[in-house]
A and B are shown apart, each in its own frame.
Chain A
Amino acid sequence: MGRICLWGSGLVVIAILLVIIGLLVVRGGGVISWEFLTSTPKGLYLGMEGGIFPAIIGTVSLVAIATLTAAIPALLTAIYLVEYGKASPLAHVINFVIQAMIGIPSILIGLFGYACFVVTLGLGISLLSGGLTLAIMILPTLVVLMRDALQAVNDDYRLLGESLGVSRRYLLQKIILPVASPHLLSSILLAMGYAAGATAPIMVTAAVVMSRGSVSLLNPVMALPFHLYILFSQHISLERAYGTAVVLVLILLALNLFSLYLRNRYGKRVAFYD
């Protein structure tokens, strides 16, 4: 009986995912065309016609800035936690803070980004403000994922490095980081997916209904989740909202699948070397 419940729960999860994707494709698949992907929004209420090209570019740019900004500090923090801090009081504090940061609602991060980047630093509603806000949002998640990736590296290597008297840094460069790299990369991809889908942090820091001109750091941008939100909350075009959602979901799915692929390869690599 217990086993049936477990199986059932698993099936329900899969069913929910399939229903969501199915619904999106049925409702929005019709609008997806080459033109939809490559042209700008048009129509009396913007978005009734035309496409979502600027939103795709905007989302890609936002995610790129967020990832570039957050990845290095996250990696350094993870290295500190696993290789240097270990059980030190500072490491405990950092772990606690990171855990607490993960729980911050994304709209609060948006509010902070608005106060800090848009107003105080005077960056305005812009690609840069939005990217940095997203960076703050994904930073704690990235630290946790990267920390776990480093912790997953066989501890024998550290023991061996110590018994040879080589420095931690040498061991990191030569053994630990190369071994962990597929897992670390997979962490970054997951965080990118997280950033791509987030709406609240960019609503008040970066996103607009229509962007003019080319993409630039200090200009506002369109973004897929925000465009989707506008299309359906303003009843502009439900079909196009679903179409936008399909594109967003496909991007997220691609990032997740690639991340999964890297982790599987990592698993094989470990088996190969042990």
Chain B
Amino acid sequence: MIKIKEFTAFYAKKQVLHTITANFNRKDITALIGPSGCGKTTLLKSINRTAELQQEFRATGSILLDGQDVYHGNDPAAVRRQAGMVLQKPIALPLSIKENILFGPRYYGVRDKVELDTVVTTTLTKVGLWNEVKDKLNSPASELSGGQLQRLSIGRILAVNPKVLLLDEPCSSLDIKSTQLIEELLVELREHVTIVIVTHNLMQAKRLADQTIFMSAGRIIEYNATALLLEQPQNQITQEFLAF
């Protein structure tokens, strides 16, 4: 589980996160919602230390992943392995479907052929792609549709067994049917990983998330069980955002 304590972040001189404190529980799905530019993506990227890839990023406070401060020590790669991130746009690496899944495992030293094959089968099954692609594992991944590709992207992350799955508006470029498949997938995955999802779609938050965090201007405005937050918002800013 993830514990964020008094976390603040800056891009150059601009403060983008103001003393954020929050907990994301294991086997929960947490949704981050809020207007564009409110800092929700930065918060997401801070958890796996990809925010610091932007120039002049600075942060204070702590983010604990299973009790370990991710900002303690200087090995962002190890953090990113434990907290994989699915990007907004589905990306096919210029490799086959199979090699897309194995991209991470091969890097982390899996060499045994049987083990590699098992990873491919179980991962593709987990993300619900196996039946669709089992006959064309060696075809270029770019032949897949957007929705299939996004599920492949999730599989590529899961193949290295992360503890946390971070998703940055994973369905924003997908049609309704593909979105539905991804949502069903996330519901199944919550048994195995802690999921944090940034979404613009309030209905999606309602369908998926156990708890929802509403952010505005770099601050957490309201933080509650999803049903409560969406049905009975306490804060006036939240009320205005939801009414819109």
Name A's B-contacting residues (CB within 8 A). Answer: 87, 156-157, 159-160, 162-167, 170, 174-175, 178-179, 269, 272-274
Contact = CB atoms under 8 A, between A and B. Distances in A.
Contact of B55 (A87, A178, A179, A272): A87
A102 to B, nearest CB: 28
Contact of B76 (A87, A165, A274): A165
Contacts of B50: 162-163
A246 to B, nearest CB: 41
Contacts, number: 63
B84 A164 contact: yes
A272 B96 CA distance: 12
B80 A164 contact: yes
A273 B96 CA distance: 10
Nearest to A175: B93
Interface of B: 48, 50, 53, 55, 76-81, 84-85, 87, 89, 91-95, 103-104, 107, 140, 142, 156-157, 160
B39 to A, nearest CB: 19
Nearest to A178: B94
A168 to B, nearest CB: 10
Contacts of A179: 94
Contacts of A157: 91, 93-94
Contacts of A170: 107
Contacts of B55: 87
18 contacts: A156-B87, A157-B93, A160-B91, A160-B93, A162-B50, A162-B53, A163-B84, A163-B87, A164-B107, A164-B156, A165-B80, A165-B160, A166-B104, A167-B107, A174-B103, A272-B142, A273-B94, A274-B92
Q: Is the interface of A mostly helix, strand, loop or mixed?
A: helix
A63 B156 CA distance: 45
B60 to A, nearest CB: 22
B80 A163 contact: yes
Nearest to B85: A163
A175 B107 contact: no
Contacts of B93: 157, 160, 175
Contact of A165 (B77, B87, B92): B77
Nearest to A273: B94
A167 B103 CA distance: 12
Nearest to A271: B142
A165 B160 CA distance: 10
Nearest to A163: B85
Q: Which 8 A-B pairs have the closest CB atoms?
A: A165-B80, A165-B81, A273-B94, A165-B77, A163-B85, A166-B107, A273-B142, A156-B91
Given A179-B94, A274-B142, A166 B84 contact: no
